[in-house]
């Protein structure tokens, strides 16, 4: 049984069909890449999986064999399906460590002093400990992206959904982000990552899905997918020559 099973997710906004029958599965410790043109339904898919802000019109999502259909967004996160967004969602006026502390589920917080210890350990693991007491709005873009990921990890996910984690990063920072995601994946956490930086998807993904107009255009081995003529025509164009 797969860790995350997605079966026939469908969503429309009025006359606009945003997702049509999207299905896939992911095993524990696997990395799945999601690519496609802007407006192809990638972030909408994450919205449907987490019900932030709303769920699908049709289809089924199961995590560890448990249906998420009747769960609300906070219950889905507690069950172990956690996401980060394209833009920074930290509380800029709070310190870095306070952002981690407020993200911890109340039932897992071991008390104020011990909770700070857990948060500091997470920050240290991702080279943010030196910024612990600094307002998160004052740290750099890459560190804010790392902080978003740390706050997600504080919720102890089984599956982590990353929406364009490399957006706005320099080439060295993209390489550092690849290493960071590998570090997370080594813990046994499954990762689904949306990204336009194809080098990141090729470096990380065990399978790659390309969406177009809300449907699965191609799926499979990442290097085969990016050479699929339909993917080249709909999405990569001349960029396919660089992969």
CATH number of the domain where residue 38 is located: 3.40.50.300
Length of the chain counted residue by residue = 243
Residue 226 lies in a domain: yes
Residue 135 lies in a domain: no
At residue 104, the pLDDT reads: 86
Residue 212 lies in a domain: yes
pTM of the model: 0.93
Residue 107 lies in a domain: no
Reading the chain (243 residues) residue by residue, the pLDDT tens digits are 899 999 999 999 998 999 999 999 999 999 999 999 999 999 999 999 999 998 999 999 999 999 999 999 999 999 999 999 877 666 778 999 999 998 887 765 555 666 788 899 999 999 999 999 999 999 999 999 999 999 999 999 999 999 999 999 999 999 999 999 999 999 999 999 999 999 999 999 999 999 999 999 999 999 999 999 999 999 987 555 555
At residue 57, the pLDDT reads: 97
Range of the structural domain that residue 170 is part of: 4-80+157-242
Residue 134 lies in a domain: no
Residue 193 lies in a domain: yes
Q: How many domains does the structure of the chain reveal?
A: 1
At residue 76, the pLDDT reads: 97
Residue 110 lies in a domain: no
Please, are residues 243 and 200 in contact by the beta-carbon 8 Å criterion? Answer: no
Residue 112 lies in a domain: no
C-alpha to C-alpha distance for 142 and 206, rounded to whole angstroms: 25
């Amino acid at each position: 049984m797969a860790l995350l099973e997605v079966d026939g997710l469908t969503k429309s906004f009025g006359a606009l069909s945003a997702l049509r029958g999207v299905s896939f599965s992911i095993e524990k410790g696997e990395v799945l890449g999601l690519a496609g043109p802007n407006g192809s339904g990638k972030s909408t898919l994450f919205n449907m999986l987490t019900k932030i802000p709303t769920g699908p019109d049709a289809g089924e999502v199961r995590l560890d064999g448990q249906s998420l259909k009747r769960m609300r967004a906070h219950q889905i996160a507690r069950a172990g399906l956690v996401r980060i967004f394209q833009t920074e969602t930290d509380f800029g006026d709070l310190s870095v460590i306070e952002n981690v502390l407020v993200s911890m589920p109340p039932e897992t917080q071991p008390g104020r002093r011990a909770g700070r210890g857990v948060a500091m350990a997470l920050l240290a693991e991702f080279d943010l400990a030196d910024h612990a007491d600094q307002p998160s709005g004052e740290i750099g873009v890459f560190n804010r992206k790392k902080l978003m990921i740390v706050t997600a990890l504080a919720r102890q996910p089984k599956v982590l959904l990353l929406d364009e984690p490399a957006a706005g990063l320099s080439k060295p920072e993209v390489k550092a982000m690849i290493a960071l995601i590998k570090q997370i994946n080594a813990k046994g956490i499954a990762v689904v990552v949306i990204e336009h930086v194809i080098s990141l998807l090729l470096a990380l993904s065990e399978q790659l899905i390309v969406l177009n107009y809300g449907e699965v255009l191609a799926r499979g081995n990442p290097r085969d997918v990016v050479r699929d003529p339909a993917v080249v025509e709909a999405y990569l164009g001349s960029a396919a020559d660089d992969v």
